Amino acid sequence: MSTSISSTSTTPRWKAWVSAQNIVVAVVLVLAIIFPLVVDRPRFWLPNIGVRTLWMGTIAMSLVFLNKYVGLLSLAQMTFAGICSYGIGYFSVTMGWPIIPSIVLSLGIGSFAGWLTALIAVRTKAIYFMMITLALAQVFYSWASQAIEVTNARRGIAPIPRPDFGFINLNDITTFYYFALVLAVIAYVIFRYTATSQFGLAIQGIKDSPERMSALGYNVNRYRTAALTLAAFVASIGGVILVFDRNQVDPSFVSLDSTLNILVVAVVGGIGSLGGVFIGGLVFALLQNFAQDFTDRYMTLTGLVFIGVLLFFPAGLVGLGPMIRRLFSKRAKASASSESSETLDAERRAGTHNKKGQHK
Amino acid sequence: MPTQDIAISLTDVDKRFGGLRAVKNVSMEVRAGERVSMIGTNGAGKSTLFNLIAGVFPVTAGSVSMFGSVVTKQNTAKRARNGLARTFQTSRLFEQLTAEENVFIALGGRGLGVRSILPARRIPAKWHRVAELLETVGLVSEGTRRVADLSHGEQRQLELAMALAADPKILMLDEPAAGFSPAERQQLVAMLTALPADITLLLIEHDMDIALQVADRVIVMHDGSKILEGTPDEIRASQVVREIYLGGGHA
């Protein structure tokens, strides 16, 4: 039968996992694991660079997932994360509930917000979808800035202490960093797995041709809704890291600035790459922390980096790898083709070329 | 009076796009298992009629039935789940995926259930069916290629495999031979004649040879109306059809 079926059944399973992409992922993961051991000032590096990269990356990854696999650009991902953060603050501090139920319930509320957004936005496409998600994000921002009984308006909810689960105490910064890393890896695995599932194939089909999918009997909007809910769930995971990173929650979490920061992280990392967002997050966190050392206009510098990436690496910083590879293969090809044209010349001179042509 | 034996029944169907009346008061019936070709010049309303049957647009007036039940208000996905499969005039495939993944999607998981989160690669029975379908349309060696890299003819063949994947009761093909070489046309005719006898086939085709060779009955559309229907022989002999196709007016 089909060659691919026989080949997948004969190759050992581990070999299917060896790809350039997975090698890069493994290397990055190892670097992330040894990060606390190699930095000179863990008290600075772990929260300001490490943890921040992880939550920005996780939230941006949910945006990239929607863009890459569903073809929808959502500007509400930061808002879903913020809703989860608010939930944790409200339940655990304002209501005084134990922390674990607060986190679980807040993850649910963040996902539910995604589902509600989908109900409204999923019938629209492209720019309209983006505008609706942005509008809903702004609606939540203005509500959060005013609802004094729930969100404590502009002052927000503080302090939200990091939990101590007994065997894991998140007040230790290294432990907290690894906690964040585990959550980010879980988020990544969720998306990688989803992409290979039947559901994942179906949403990719919907991205390419919704008309065809409904002609095949798929309920397109229901699939889109499910994908957006899943992305909101992952964004909420980012919100869990975020709220314990800041030890508080206030409207700036869901402001337009924060929303756009996530978009910048996604684009700088590579809007077509799930893992690339962490590179984008790292660059962004480094800029936020160090740009002020060189210049007073650090926002300008961030903007310039953004423009530079858009101009020179349209696939984001992860696009660098393939770009370099292509450069080398082009050179290899160029030298190969010059060789072959040399042999062609030689053949022509020897009068063999015409004969060869006739053979064909 | 619609019954179970009538696969498709249109009653006084009208479709307007703004000021344009694309389909004018068309009534027709296709019996279950019948092979019907629709012919007519560009703009005759064939594809619009197709889309009305498939449920892509709502009808402006009239009603549509499938196997005796009225489906006028049903959406495309619902009609598809009730056994209607179609191809598109211009290929609408999933370009970023491979040919076999395209067919796999066409096999469905239809409903969005718990099973749709299973990994796609671990369902060997489905992948065997995919290979069979690719074999049927002669694409078996192209299974792992991305659709964007397939030729136009291969994409049309893939469209067919996908339409067949759902085990349809009604198969509607919109110009399946467009862009085919003469050899590919013969292949297509052989494949269509070999379809199981219980599949109802509704075909739009500009190639008269194919349209007349495959069909039991031919419907001629002109300017949004059904102007004639009959057996292939009757259509061949018809003066009206000749006039339409040869730009008549001199008769």
Q: What is the dihedral of CA A53, A56, A62, A65, to 10 degrees?
A: -50
The secondary structure of A48-96 as a DSSP string is IIIIHHHHHHHHHHHHHHIIIII----S-HHHHHHHHHHHHHIIIIIS-
Share of chain A above pLDDT 70, in %: 87
Partners of residue A3 in chain B, C-beta under 8 Å:
141, 143-144
Q: Which residue has the higher pLDDT, A166 or B231?
A: B231
Span B24-37, mean pLDDT? 93
Q: How confident is the model at residue A104 (pLDDT cuts 50, 70, 90)?
A: very high
> In the predicted model, is pLDDT for residue A235 greater than 50?
yes
pLDDT single digits (tens) B175-227: 888 888 888 888 888 888 888 888 999 999 888 888 899 999 999 999 999 99
Place of tokens 């009757």: B234
With a cut of 0.95, is the ipTM above it? no
Chain B CA closest to residue A219: B77
What's the CA gap between B22 and B46, in Å, rounded?
A: 9
Q: How confident is the model at residue B3 (pLDDT cuts 50, 70, 90)?
A: low
Chain B CA closest to residue A211: B92
Per-residue pLDDT, A341: 52
What's the CA gap between A56 and A281, in Å, rounded?
A: 6
CATH 3.40.50.300 domain locations along chain B: 1-83+168-251
Chain-wide mean pLDDT for chain A?
86
* DSSP, res A216: T
What's the CA gap between B139 and B151, in Å, rounded?
A: 11
Per-residue pLDDT, A355: 40
Kindly report the CA angle at A252 between A251 and A257, in degrees rounded to 5? 135
User: What is the set of domains in chain A, with CATH numbers?
Assistant: 20-281 (1.10.3470)
Q: How confident is the model at residue B110 (pLDDT cuts 50, 70, 90)?
A: low
Span B124-141, mean pLDDT? 88
Over its C-alpha atoms, chain B yields an Rg (Å, rounded) of: 19
Span A128-139, mean pLDDT? 95
Q: Is residue A106 a contact partner of residue A84, using CB atoms and an 8 Å limit?
A: yes
Q: Which residue has the higher pLDDT, A344 or A202?
A: A202
Q: Which residue has the higher pLDDT, A13 or A221?
A: A221
CB atoms closer than 10 angstroms to residue A191: 20
Mutate to test the interface with B, among A8, A9, A69, A216 (most CBs of B within 10 A): A216
Q: How confident is the model at residue B137 (pLDDT cuts 50, 70, 90)?
A: confident
Classify each residue of B124-152 as buried b or exposed e, where b means 16 or more C-beta atoms within 10 Å of its C-beta: eebbebbbbbbebbbbbebbeeebeebee
Which candidate, B160, B197, B164, B136, places its Cα nearest to that of B7? B197
* DSSP, res B219: E
Identity of residue B199: I
Per-residue pLDDT, A6: 40
Partners of residue B124 in chain A, C-beta under 8 Å:
5, 9
Instruction: Report the residue count for chain A.
Output: 360
Q: Which residue has the higher pLDDT, A13 or A115?
A: A115
Instruction: Report the residue count for chain B.
Output: 251
Span A141-155, mean pLDDT? 93
Q: Is residue A171 a contact partner of residue A162, using CB atoms and an 8 Å limit?
A: yes
Which candidate, A283, A316, A260, A349, places its Cα nearest to that of A68? A316
Per-residue pLDDT, A228: 96
Q: How confident is the model at residue A12 (pLDDT cuts 50, 70, 90)?
A: low
Please state which of the ranges A117-121, B112-116, B141-145 shows the lowest mean pLDDT. B112-116
What's the CA gap between B232 and A126, in Å, rounded?
A: 47
Identity of residue B38: M
Per-residue pLDDT, A358: 41
**Are A199 and B116 a contacting pair at CB < 8 A?**
yes
What's the CA gap between B72 and B86, in Å, rounded?
A: 17
Whole-angstrom CA distances from A173 to A46, A183, A243, B197 are 7, 15, 14, 71
Share of chain A above pLDDT 90, in %: 57
> In the predicted model, is pLDDT for residue A349 greater than 70?
no
Burial class (CB in 10 A: 0-12, 13-18, 19+), B53: buried
> In the predicted model, is pLDDT for residue A200 greater than 70?
yes
Chain A, 192-221: which have a CB under 8 Å from a chain B CB? 193-194, 196-202, 204-205, 207-209, 211-220
pLDDT single digits (tens) A252-289: 999 999 999 999 999 988 888 888 899 999 999 998 88
Please state which of the ranges A39-48, A130-139, B6-15, B109-118 shows the lowest mean pLDDT. B109-118
Edge-first strand order for the sheet with B35-39 is: B84-86, B170-174, B200-204, B35-39, B217-222, B225-230
**Are B77 and A202 a contacting pair at CB < 8 A?**
no
Chain B, 161-190: which have a CB under 8 Å from a chain A CB? 162, 165-166
A333: contact with B, CB 8 A cutoff: no
Question: Which two tokens mark A176?
Answer: 């907290």
Place of tokens 């503080």: A158
Mutate to test the interface with A, among B89, B94, B127 (most CBs of A within 10 A): B94
Nearest to A208 among B95, B110, B121 (CB): B95
Chain-wide mean pLDDT for chain B?
87
**Interface size between A and B, measured as CB pairs under 8 A:** 116
Looking at the complex, report in whole angstroms how far the Cα of residue A219 sits from the nearest Cα belonging to chain B: 6
Per-residue pLDDT, B194: 85
**Are B120 and A197 a contacting pair at CB < 8 A?**
yes
**Are B97 and A218 a contacting pair at CB < 8 A?**
no
* DSSP, res A46: I
Nearest to A199 among B77, B86, B117 (CB): B117
Give the architecture-level CATH label for domain B1-83+168-251. Answer: 3-Layer(aba) Sandwich (3.40)
What's the CA gap between A316 and A319, in Å, rounded?
A: 5
Partners of residue B123 in chain A, C-beta under 8 Å:
198
Whole-angstrom CA distances from B111 to A208, B117, B127 are 19, 12, 19
> In the predicted model, is pLDDT for residue A115 greater than 90?
yes
The secondary structure of A136-178 as a DSSP string is HHHHHHHHHHH-HHHH-GGG-B---PPPB-SSSBTTSHHHHHH
**Are B112 and A213 a contacting pair at CB < 8 A?**
no
Q: Is residue B65 a contact partner of residue B8, using CB atoms and an 8 Å limit?
A: yes
B112: contact with A, CB 8 A cutoff: yes
Q: Is residue A310 a contact partner of residue A271, using CB atoms and an 8 Å limit?
A: no
Span A80-88, mean pLDDT? 97
pLDDT single digits (tens) A19-70: 777 888 899 999 999 999 999 898 899 999 999 999 999 999 999 999 999 9
B220: contact with A, CB 8 A cutoff: no
pLDDT single digits (tens) A306-328: 888 888 887 888 877 777 777 77
Q: How confident is the model at residue A3 (pLDDT cuts 50, 70, 90)?
A: very low
Per-residue pLDDT, B181: 85
Q: Is residue B60 a contact partner of residue B15, using CB atoms and an 8 Å limit?
A: yes
Mutate to test the interface with A, among B116, B142, B147 (most CBs of A within 10 A): B116
Looking at the complex, report in whole angstroms how far the Cα of residue A156 sits from the nearest Cα belonging to chain B: 38
CB atoms closer than 10 angstroms to residue A99: 19
**Are A216 and B112 a contacting pair at CB < 8 A?**
no
Burial class (CB in 10 A: 0-12, 13-18, 19+), A101: exposed
Looking at the complex, report in whole angstroms how far the Cα of residue A70 sits from the nearest Cα belonging to chain B: 12
In three-state secondary structure terms, B222 is strand
A4: contact with B, CB 8 A cutoff: yes
